[in-house]
Amino acid sequence: MTDPAPRFARAAAPGTYMRAHRYLILLLVLVLYIFSEAYAQRAFFSQTMSSVFLTLLALVVFLVVFDGWWERAAAFVVALAGLAFAWTHLLPLAMIDSLVHGVAHHLLMAAFMGFAVAVILGNIFRRGRITNDDVLGTVCGYVLAAGCFANLYAACELVVPGSFSLAAESQVLKDSHTRTALFNYFSIVTLTTVGYGDITPVRAPATAIAMVEAIFGQFYIAVVVAQLVGLWMSQAGRGNSSRAP
């Protein structure tokens, strides 16, 4: 009679692999989402497709980042509400208040992504050892932080039209999913303090949020890198001690 244990081990292997590389999966989905939004102005890229990619991203973030029941409950409520507003374009026009729905959607998605960043960083700082996938997790947190600020910028533009000045005349800020693509780009540029200057915040509160994001981006890199280096050195020290005669 054959031992069923190896068969069960093989069956569990895919799930174990995905769990061990969960942040790699999330990072790939984030890259997919960024590239999909970058083509938001193309004729074939509809608002429905934009909502599909956003829903996929939210689902993967929910499954990968949140572990505790209270974390999942809070994240589920916020993400579900935010995505519901994202899909309101399918409703009859008479039922849609574009300003209210747009602001609510962006604020809820900002809260969801910000919560994910906080959980990722909390997990990293509580760990006694670090893996390669944890390093990718910090990258995911960095990109999600940019997404959080991008949604705040989009909400600002809806509430205070003209909060941003573009180097070239464009109607891109008047369309919802092309506006999201633009602010994703601007947020990454601001978070990394590159500052190309092709889009500039000119009114409050956008100007204040941009300053906060630039400061956050610098501290994120400094603090997270210091934590990772400290954990790697600690692991290396423990490894050398265990091999000592």
Which has the closest alpha carbon to 201: 168, 153, 130? 153
Which has the closest alpha carbon to 208: 149, 165, 168, 158? 149
Give yes or no for a cis peptide into 205 (omega within 30° of 0): yes
The three-point CA angle 17-21-26 to 5° equals: 130
Query: In this predicted structure, what is the pLDDT of residue 196?
Result: 82
Query: In this predicted structure, what is the pLDDT of residue 9?
Result: 45
Residue in the block written with tokens 């991203």: 57
The total of other beta-carbon atoms located within 10 Å of residue 49's CB is 16
Residue in the block written with tokens 């910000």: 114
Say how far apart CA 156 and CA 213 lie, in whole Å.
14
Residue 68, token pair as written in the block = 């505790």
Element (DSSP H or E) covering residue 84: helix 69-86
Query: In this predicted structure, what is the pLDDT of residue 73?
Result: 94
The total of other beta-carbon atoms located within 10 Å of residue 175's CB is 14
**% helix, strand, coil for the chain, step of 5:** 80, 0, 20
What is the mean pLDDT for each group of 10 consecutive residues in the chain (245 residues)?
Answer: 48 57 89 80 61 89 90 93 80 60 89 94 76 82 93 90 75 64 88 84 90 91 79 59 50
In this structure, what DSSP letter does residue 163 have? Answer: -
Residue 154, token pair as written in the block = 């989009």
Query: In this predicted structure, what is the pLDDT of residue 134?
Result: 77
Query: In this predicted structure, what is the pLDDT of residue 136?
Result: 85
pLDDT tens per residue, range 7-27: 444 444 555 656 667 888 999
Query: In this predicted structure, what is the pLDDT of residue 172?
Result: 56
Provide the H-helix boundaries in 127-205. Answer: 132-159, 176-191
Predicted model pTM: 0.82
Query: In this predicted structure, what is the pLDDT of residue 44?
Result: 46
Say how far apart CA 196 and CA 137 lie, in whole Å.
27
Say how far apart CA 155 and CA 65 lie, in whole Å.
25
**Could you tell me which CATH class the domain 25-235 is placed in?**
mainly alpha
Per domain, the residue ranges of the chain are: 25-235
Query: In this predicted structure, what is the pLDDT of residue 72?
Result: 92
Say how far apart CA 218 and CA 70 lie, in whole Å.
30
